[in-house]
Amino acid sequence: MLCSQKRGSEFRSTPPTSNDHNFFVGLAKKGSHMQQDNVQTTYDTAKQIANQNTQEVWYNNWMEDDKGRQLYQHLPKPNPKDPINNLDRKDQCNIFRLRTGHIMLNGHRNRIDPLVPPMCRHCGIHTETVEHHLFHCVNLRNLRKNLLPSNPTLENCLYGNVNQLKKTSKFHIIASRVDRA
Ligand SMILES: [Zn+2]
């Protein structure tokens, strides 16, 4: 590597090695206190750098935050090819809400308003969580058989291919009807 310096006294005649960490740290510290020249750049380049920085900040926050952990274990980083993007708006909302657990099932409603009983609208015994709704409620057995995979999991119901996501959304729409059972 060839290193050229306009200012400063630490000119080196031999190229620094990758182990020469202190040299680079010293150089960077010194450089940060020098007057910065304005370098002209295009609007597109500036936009691209700003986008990259924003993405990096967002991603680091997502990694370190304790929010959205239910989603995080299945989606540790943004996936532009996520099949959810190919759904219509209504199905997209249903799948996203099922993924995050922020959905109008009684278990979640009860967290917002303690006056709403958390019990399942179909069996009346168990707490109506996403898992109970999708996998366990005996009263939804037939609907489950028709629309969900034979061994349903969060992974294959909510993060599978686009056809399954549509079916899962349909399951949720039908199963959420209060008058269904
Ligand atoms: Zn139930």
Which of 81, 82, 83, 75 lies closest to 59 in space, CA to CA? Answer: 75
Q: pLDDT tens across 121-163, in order?
A: 999 999 999 999 999 999 999 999 999 999 999 999 999 999 9
- pLDDT at position 31: 78
* Residue 163 CA to ligand 1 centre (angstroms): 25
* Residue 131 CA to ligand 1 centre (angstroms): 10
Domain positions in the chain: 1-34, 43-69, 83-176
Residue 2 has pLDDT above 70, yes or no: no
* Residue 59 CA to ligand 1 centre (angstroms): 37
Spatial neighbors of 21 by CB under 8 A, at least 6 apart, are none
Q: Cα–Cα distance between 142 and 136 in angstroms, integer?
A: 12
Q: Cα–Cα distance between 155 and 20 in angstroms, integer?
A: 46
* Residue 90 CA to ligand 1 centre (angstroms): 24
Structure tokens at 145: 């058989």
Comparison of pLDDT for 163 and 9, the residue scoring more: 163
Residue 174 has pLDDT above 50, yes or no: yes
Phi, psi of 154 (to 5 degrees): -60, -40
Predicted confidence band of residue 3 (pLDDT cuts 50, 70, 90): very low
Residues 113, 148 contacting (CB under 8 angstroms) = no
